[in-house]
Each structure stands twice: as structure tokens, then as C-alpha cells.
Amino acid sequence: MAAAITVSEARKNLFPLVRKVNEDHDTIEIVSKGGNAVLMSKEDYDSLMTTVELLSGRDGARLRRSIQELEDGGGAERDLIE
């Protein structure tokens, strides 16, 4: 996360902050006594949720096993076909 700001600061600067997270694809942590929150673009949120969904299902388990196999030295290198 690039920045942490208070709720009061976020309230005063909401529109510029929304523009910043959309333009920079950055996140901003908003801190308060009642708990912290994160401001991020809808596009980045949707991407994050898609990644979580893909990694949490059966295919995600297979992907994690495949990554682990490669990290352990398994797999075979192949030339790309053009």
C-alpha cells in the first residue's frame, strides 16, 4: 500500500483519492479507531476477486501443485512454436 491516511483526511479529499486510485492503480489505507479500510479502484477489486476465485477452486489447487512442482525442479523446458 502506498499511503495510509485518516478517515477525516479521506473525507476531505475523497474525489481526488478516487481519481488517484483509478489512474495509478494504487491502494490507500484509511485508518480509524473503529478499524481500517482500503480504497482501491473497482477494476483492481474485480481483478483481485477473480484471482481469489480462480485460486480457491479445484483448478486453483491444481495450479498451486503445478507451481510447487516447477519450484521443486520438475517440469520440462520446451521451445515455443511460432
pTM of the full structure: 0.69
pLDDT at position 1 is: 56
**Does residue 24 share a domain with residue 3?**
yes
Beta-bridged to residue 28, according to DSSP, are 3, 39
List the domain range (segments joined by +) for residue 53.
41-73
Instruction: Select from 25, 26, 32, 27 the least CA-distant residue to 11.
Output: 32
Q: What gap in Å lies between CA 18 and CA 71, rounded to an integer?
A: 39
In a domain, 69, yes or no: yes
Helices (H) and strands (E) in the chain, counts: 4, 3
Which residues, including other chains, have CB under 8 Å from residue 22's CB and lie 6 or more apart?
41, 43
In a domain, 35, yes or no: yes
Selection from 3-7, 55-59, 71-75, 76-80 with the highest mean pLDDT: 3-7
The structural domain count of the chain equals 2
User: What confidence tens digit (pLDDT) does each residue in 9-67 have?
Assistant: 999 999 999 999 999 999 999 999 999 999 999 999 999 999 888 888 787 888 888 88
